[in-house]
Amino acid sequence: MWKPVQGALLTSPEQRMADLLKTFGEPAACTAYLLCDRHPSDAVAFTLVSKDLTSHDMTFAELRDRSSRMASALAALGVGAGDRVATLMGKSAELLIVSLAIWRLGAVQVPLFTAFAPPAIALRTIGNGTKAVVTDADQRPKLDPESGFPGERPWQIITTGPVTGSDLAFSELLESHAPQPEPVAVGGDAPIVELFTSGTAGSPKAVPIPLSAVAGFVMYQEFGLDHQDTDVFWNAADPGWAYGLYYAIIGPLALGRRSLLLNSLFSAEGTWDVLSRFGVTNFTAGPTIYRKLRAAGGAPGDLRLRCCSAAGEPLPPDVVDWAREALGVPVRDHYGLTETGMVIAHAWHAALRTDLKTGSMGRPLPGWSVKILREDTNSAEAATGVPGRVAIDVADSPLMWFKGYLGAPERTAEKFSPDGRWFYTGDTAAQDEEGVLFFSGRGDDVILMAGYRIGPFE
């Protein structure tokens, strides 16, 4: 239940949700305007940190100008509304620039995880209308037949690294094009991202993510993570997957609040250095990151953390205990899916914050109705404390945006009850008498690898 906070605006989560749904669901809604152009030009959008911990603050003015130039370049290559452009690159300025450029055209971003092998990249970029793949020097070799890339490449390669063959240079495209006059308004129902999620059988499924889904991303950013204007916020997840894309890039952009991105492979020492040197106050990552930090030891004595969150896999209770001592705050567990964003959490916002229950993943967030169903029925609820299927009550969840997988009606039908009321997450859990949920296990054969869901096909 909402609790007004002294000194805060007396806007309930429900009213905030209604405002966001209207803003991002408007028929004339414009992605680039809502995520970038409406924010103060001198406000910092991202702090970009390199491997050697040098950094650059990218303002919204810089992001607006460069993404507008890249939008003109992509348009000259024939990219338009509804077309797909894939991104296969590290957490760099170029990733942010091209993402906004794609959305300025009303096109659809196809994010690719940098750990993907060539066959996984091909599966996500061939046959879905992808017109270009934007990559960097580290990832570019994966697109060559010599690296095992199967079949033809029916798209243009744009690289931030050395150019070979018919590649186009990212920097030259940026320098040779004037800013796009006006961004395209696509409306709340139009897809802005096509993200693939793993399932129980066959190849990964394509999830079209509409602009209206950003309303839910912002709700979690504000109420689940409590990302405030004064925070130094760092989401360490990879933007090639949902949690990193939704809440390290899109959510902060929609809020107009700074997000820190580290363009480097994980190391415990490097993570401690970033947390300390940049004065991170709000940190979120997969449980694997916290486990590795605990194993490495050496927590700096000058940490300024006020919020720590985890998502992607169940959070071990011993990590919570360690965090209280080493980080100065407990780690709060959060739960969600590619198809929904985050739906359950031990929320950090003062209006929703409650005491932690060891081993639990929290309560449903505002905008979501989550129930535990008996495993032998489509819709009957399980008794308190009895494990069952985690299901979302679609009609009672205003933030529910997922309608189905692209070109996969049978696999879509498997996710919903016959009457369409319930969306099955594929996970099992139990709920106590206070409505707190305790994760029990996977209901399918998807594998969790360092917080990322990987299907057996992959």
Q: What beta strand segments (E) does 166-211 contain?
A: 168-169, 191-197, 205-210
pLDDT of 243 strictly over 60: yes
Average pLDDT of the residues in 414-436 = 95
Rounded CA gap, 427 and 433, in Å?
Answer: 20
The Cα-based distances of 56 to 36, 67, 236, 276 in angstroms read: 18, 17, 17, 17
Q: Which element (helix H / strand E) includes 94?
A: helix 93-104
**Residue 180 carries which side chain, given as an amino acid letter?**
Q
Average pLDDT of the residues in 249-259 = 99
Rounded CA gap, 332 and 324, in Å?
Answer: 11
For 317-376, the pLDDT digits (tens) are 899 999 999 999 999 999 999 999 999 999 999 999 999 998 899 999 999 999 999 988
Nearest-5° Cα angle at 449, 443 to 452: 80
CB 321 within 8 A of CB 305: no
**Residue 88 carries which side chain, given as an amino acid letter?**
L
Q: What percent of the chain has pLDDT over 90?
A: 87
Rounded CA gap, 386 and 402, in Å?
Answer: 28
Average pLDDT of the residues in 241-265 = 98
Q: Which element (helix H / strand E) includes 370?
A: strand 370-373
For residue 210, which of 387, 21, 365 has the smallest C-alpha distance?
21
**pTM value?**
0.94
Rounded CA gap, 159 and 163, in Å?
Answer: 7
Residue with tokens 């991303």: 217
Domains, the chain: 26-39+60-187 (3.40.50.980), 211-454 (3.40.50.12780)
The Cα-based distances of 378 to 167, 409, 419 in angstroms read: 51, 19, 9
Residue with tokens 């209604």: 18
Strands across the sheet containing 307-310 = 55-59, 44-49, 259-262, 233-235, 282-285, 307-310, 331-337, 341-345, 363-364
For 72-125, the pLDDT digits (tens) are 999 999 999 999 999 999 999 999 999 999 999 999 999 999 999 999 999 999
Rounded CA gap, 194 and 210, in Å?
Answer: 9
Half-sphere exposure of 268 (CA within 13 A, CB side): 13
CB 328 within 8 A of CB 303: yes
Average pLDDT of the residues in 8-12 = 64
Average pLDDT of the residues in 257-285 = 98
What pLDDT, on the 0 to 100 scale, is given for residue 378?
79
pLDDT-derived band at 199 (thresholds 50, 70, 90) equals low
| DSSP letters for 313-370 | SPPPHHHHHHHHHHTSSPEEEEEEETTTEEEEE---STTT-----TT--BEEPTT--E
If DSSP codes are grouped into helix, strand and coil, which group holds residue 449? Answer: strand
Instruction: Give the Cβ contact number of residue 147 at 10 Å.
Output: 12
What pLDDT, on the 0 to 100 scale, is given for residue 92?
98
pLDDT-derived band at 202 (thresholds 50, 70, 90) equals low
What's the mean pLDDT when you consider all of the chain? Answer: 93
For 20-76, the pLDDT digits (tens) are 999 999 999 999 999 999 999 999 999 999 999 999 999 999 999 999 999 999 999
Rounded CA gap, 395 and 417, in Å?
Answer: 12
